[in-house]
Amino acid sequence: MRYLLTIRYIGTAYHGWQVQENALAIQPIIQDALQEMFPHRPGVTGCSRTDSGVHANMYCCHFDSPLERDPFGIICSVNRNLPNDIAATHCRVVDEEFHARYSVTAKEYVYRIYNGVHRDPFAHQLAYHYRFPLHHEAMHQAAQHFVGTYDFSSFCANNAKPGDRTRQVFAASVERDGDYVVFRVSANGFLYNMVRIMVGTLLRVSEGKFTPDQIPEIIAARCRDRAGPTAPPQGLYLNQVFYEEV
């Protein structure tokens, strides 16, 4: 049977989800933590790759096992065996057709900018510290131009794999919450570094280097060099993963 396991993690200590040589990744840690209940150590398939230092409020993965186990018991067992910066939050049995990556219909990312003048210890590695005043209304206005179906090549890292770069962005917003400015974006899929390049571009808008109305031409150029820089990883959170009914 196939199990869907949902986890949360602070990504600071990890080189993303995927097993890599000579780098600590989250995937093998989940596999190890499952061994108490699934001694055959099933392989785990994640919903997406994530970058070094990126966090997840919700990350989904699936694994197969002939063993029938109580989902609540799986969560408890996995949590006993995970380090403090990773935890399982949900588990359920899914159809064999379900796939943690290919069944995704939408994902939502959040990017947290700590916009205080001085350092905040509680924001360390959990937000990007940008100390100059942010014009969040202009950033929000600019973000509205991301909504729609476009070739987002301008918002894709140059070293990404080739392929179709058309994605549908469902919603995008920038809101201030005290000393924090939060960018929220949902889409049917994301290109490599897409959210971080969007944030780098919105920061350029705040700085007056782009106007909000220039976003459509930056998208239309389909050229990475036209967009802003890639914002650092520590502000980024995979926030929600949506699946078709399974």
Determine if 40 is a binding residue for a copy of itself (CB under 8 A).
no
Q: Which is nearer to a copy of itself, 77 or 153 (CB)?
A: 77
Smallest separation (angstroms) from a copy of itself to the CB of 233: 16
Give 66-73 contacts, CB < 8 A, sequence gap 24+: 66/1, 67/37, 67/38, 67/40, 68/1, 69/3, 69/37, 69/38, 71/3, 73/37
Residue 237 to residue 53: CA distance in whole angstroms: 10
Q: Which one of the spans 76-84, 107-115, 181-189, 219-227 is the region binding a copy of itself (CB under 8 A)? A: 76-84
| Cα–Cα dist 120/113, whole Å | 12
The least distance separating a copy of itself from the CB of residue 81, rounded to whole angstroms, comes to 12
178 binds a copy of itself (CB under 8 A): no
Q: Is 75 among the residues that bind a copy of itself (CB under 8 A)?
A: yes
Q: How far is the CB of 23 from a copy of itself (least distance, A)?
A: 20
Q: According to CB under 8 A, which one of 40, 92, 119, 209 is a site residue for a copy of itself?
A: 119
> Judged by CB under 8 A, does residue 8 bind a copy of itself?
yes
Catalytic: 51? yes
For 97: left if phi > 0, alpha if psi spans -120 to 50, otherwise beta; the answer is alpha
Residue in 86, 172, 185, 197 binding a copy of itself, rule: CB under 8 A: 86
CA distance 169 to 113: 21
122 binds a copy of itself (CB under 8 A): yes
Is residue 182 a contact residue for a copy of itself (CB under 8 A)? Answer: no
Question: Which span sits near a copy of itself by CB under 8 A: 2-10, 63-71, 98-106, 204-212?
Answer: 2-10
Smallest distance from a copy of itself to CB 50, Å: 14
Looking at 51, 85, 151, 179, which residue is catalytic?
51
Among 4, 88, 219, 231, binds a copy of itself (CB under 8 A): 88
CA gap 107, 238 in Å, rounded: 8
Please report, as a single letter, which amino acid is at residue 113: I
In this chain, which of 39, 124, 158, 223 binds a copy of itself, going by CB under 8 A? Answer: 124
Quote the tokens at residue 92.
Answer: 């359920």
- Three-state SS for 199-227 is HHHHHHHHCCCCCHHHHHHHHHHCCHHHC
Give Dmax over CA atoms of the chain in angstroms: 58
Q: What is the C-alpha to C-alpha distance for residues 73 and 58, in angstroms, rounded to an integer?
A: 19
Count Cα atoms within 13 angstroms, Cβ side, for 117: 0
Q: Which residues bind a copy of itself (CB under 8 A)?
A: 8-10, 57, 75-76, 79, 84-89, 116, 118-122, 124-126
Give the active site residues. Answer: 51
